[in-house]
Amino acid sequence: MLDQIDLSILALLRKNSRLQWKDIGEQVHLSGQAVGNRIRRMEEQGIEIVGSLAMYPFS
């Protein structure tokens, strides 16, 4: 399940897919490592993050 921080991370990536995790973390008040962990968890849950596109699996 996605929380508000996950949605914020996806929104930032949608605006600029080249952002580094550290830069995203500054905007969502997390460390870069925590952002990377969240992105990996979302990918493991089936959310494909490709460039600036995030694909949500529908079940």
With the CA atoms of 36, 37, 39 and 44 taken in that order, what torsion angle do they form, in degrees rounded to the nearest 10?
Answer: 140
- Mind listing the domains of the chain with CATH numbers? 4-55 (1.10.10.10)
**Contact call for residues 47 and 54 (beta carbons, < 8 A):** yes
Q: What is the pLDDT of residues 1-59, one digit of tens each?
A: 899 999 999 999 989 988 999 999 999 999 999 999 999 999 999 988 876 566 666 65
Grouping H, G, I as helix, E, B as strand and the rest as coil, residue 11 is helix
pLDDT of residue 37: 97
pLDDT of residue 5: 98
User: Which phi and psi (to 5°) does residue 53 adopt?
Assistant: -110, 130
